[in-house]
Amino acid sequence: MESFSGELAISTCWASKGVSSGAELLDRIESTGLNRLELEYRITSPIMQELLPLIKERGFTVSSLHNFCPLPPRMPPQMASGDLFNFASPDKEERLLAVRHTTRTMELASDLEARAVVLHLGYAPMEKDRDVTENAAQKGELTPAAAALLEQRAQHSALCVDMASFTLERLIPRAESLGLILGLENRIRIHQVPNLDELEQILKRFEGSPMAPWFDLGHATVQANAGLGPASGWLERLGPDFIGCHLHDIKNETDHLAPGEGDVDWPRIMKALKDVPLKVLEIAAGAEAEKVREGSELLEGLISSRGSQDLRGRSRF
């Protein structure tokens, strides 16, 4: 499999909110100094159609797409979400919708010569974690509310693994034919799929298929701050197999900050993630352009000091 330079990409999530044209979105991204993109689910279909001829014309490349991208037609922007269709739903029709729209994302990713599609695997059929994890992270400990949700969540684990597996099974042949890797992202809230044990089970079940874990630094760190398990668990158990990572700074319960705005020890974490081939800066809308640029320059400097990395790097975290 081909090698990658280790270049940093930036998710369009920072720039896509409220844009009126594809050109405007790329203008915002250019202000960061980065020209490698992860396209994501906030991009509407009309904006995507404007973007397609401009990406190469303006010197951009695409490393990955974040499902479901673009936002399906007739869906209002406020519904944009990586959980728009639930991979782990007990409802077969819901899962088939997830397959249909993920296939659309995968075909676009292939057209854009991207290497991976980042997937959310949905959520359990239970009470949703509405700020329970964030509240625990703010307090720096596992709260009674979080502990109660964890107990409830455990009852749904086997079902979630099976339902998500049924969905993935339908996507694997198309991923293989397109030469794409499906990146399975770790999540932040208790009701979401997968947790670490579930992700290991799914990867083992589909060993040899074109899928790999995708590490979100902020999600793992906020969960660790909430007493839900150390971030190092993800690194120790899955680190050598990560295809990509979302990078952003974190302060207590708040993630998706520009690097330098939170508490992450960036030299240490970039050393730990040095062999992850697809590195994506994922910063929330609203961050100042100058802060995003400074953060990208910090990470680019740390990446370039370590040289090129191979797609199948096997260093331990």
pLDDT digits (tens, 9 = 90+) for 13-51: 999 988 999 999 999 999 999 999 999 999 999 999 999
Q: What is the pLDDT of residue 207?
A: 97
Give the residue among 179, 308, 183 at the shortest CA–CA distance from 242: 183
For residue 295, pLDDT beyond 50: yes
Q: What is the pLDDT of residue 18?
A: 86
For residue 314, pLDDT beyond 90: no
Give the integer Cα–Cα distance in Å for 5 and 15.
24
Give the residue among 41, 121, 125 at the shortest CA–CA distance from 81: 41
The pLDDT mean for the chain works out to 92
DSSP strand pairing (36-39 vs 61-66): parallel
**Cα separations (Å) of 24 from 61, 65, 278?**
17, 19, 25
Residue range 1-19, pLDDT digits in tens: 233 344 899 999 999 988 9
pTM comes to 0.93
Q: What is the pLDDT of residue 144?
A: 97
Q: What is the pLDDT of residue 306?
A: 57
For residue 225, pLDDT beyond 90: yes
**Cα separations (Å) of 252 from 88, 150, 218, 261?**
29, 20, 10, 12
Residue range 162-193, pLDDT digits in tens: 999 999 999 999 999 999 999 999 999 999 99
For residue 309, pLDDT beyond 70: no
Average of per-residue pLDDT across 197-205: 98
Structure-token pair, residue 312: 């199948």
Give the integer Cα–Cα distance in Å for 126 and 108.
33
Give the residue among 8, 7, 35, 5 at the shortest CA–CA distance from 282: 8
% of the chain residues with pLDDT over 90: 90
Average of per-residue pLDDT across 274-300: 94
**Alpha carbon 78 to chain centroid, angstroms:** 19
